[in-house]
Amino acid sequence: MKKLLIFVLFVCFLSLNANAKEQAIFHGNRNLNHIYLTFDDGYSAKNTEMILDTLLQKDVKATFFIEGEFLTQNPILVNRIANEQTLANHTFKHKDITKMSNQQLIDDIKIFEEEAFKITGKQLTKYFRPPMGKINDTKLNILSQMGYKVFIWDVSYYDYVYYDDQGIDYVLNSIRKQTHNGSIILMHTLTKSNALALGQIIDMLRDLGYVFSDLSELV
What's the pLDDT at 22?
A: 60
What's the pLDDT at 46?
A: 84
What's the pLDDT at 33?
A: 98
Active site residues: 40, 188
Nearby residues of 54 by Cβ (< 8 Å), 6 or more positions away: 195, 198, 199, 202
**Mean pLDDT computed over every residue of the chain:** 91
Where residue 210 falls (left for φ over 0; alpha for ψ -120 to 50; beta otherwise) is beta
CATH code of the domain covering residue 64: 3.20.20.370
- Could you tell me the residue range of the domain that residue 42 belongs to? 2-218
pLDDT digits (tens, 9 = 90+) for 67-119: 999 999 999 999 999 999 999 999 999 999 999 999 999 999 999 999 999 99
Nearby residues of 65 by Cβ (< 8 Å), 6 or more positions away: 38, 39, 40, 41, 88, 89, 90, 127, 128, 129, 151
What's the pLDDT at 23?
A: 85
Query: Which phi and psi (to 5°) does residue 63 adopt?
Result: -110, 130
What's the pLDDT at 170?
A: 97
Please report, rounded to a whole number, the percentage of residues in the chain having pLDDT higher than 70. 89
Is the predicted pLDDT of residue 211 greater than 80, yes or no?
yes
What's the pLDDT at 42?
A: 72
Is the predicted pLDDT of residue 61 greater than 70, yes or no?
yes
pLDDT digits (tens, 9 = 90+) for 5-57: 444 444 444 444 445 456 899 999 999 999 999 999 876 788 999 999 999 99
pLDDT digits (tens, 9 = 90+) for 120-139: 999 999 999 999 999 999 99
Provide the H-helix boundaries in the chain.
2-14, 18-23, 48-58, 68-73, 75-84, 102-120, 137-145, 168-178, 192-207
Distances (CA, A) of 91 to 143, 156, 179, 186: 11, 20, 27, 17
Q: How many domains does the chain have?
A: 1
Is the predicted pLDDT of residue 4 greater than 80, yes or no?
no
CA angle, residues 83, 23, 181, in degrees to nearest 5: 70
- 181 burial type by CB count under 10 A (0-12 exposed, 13-18 middle, 19+ buried): middle
What's the pLDDT at 43?
A: 67
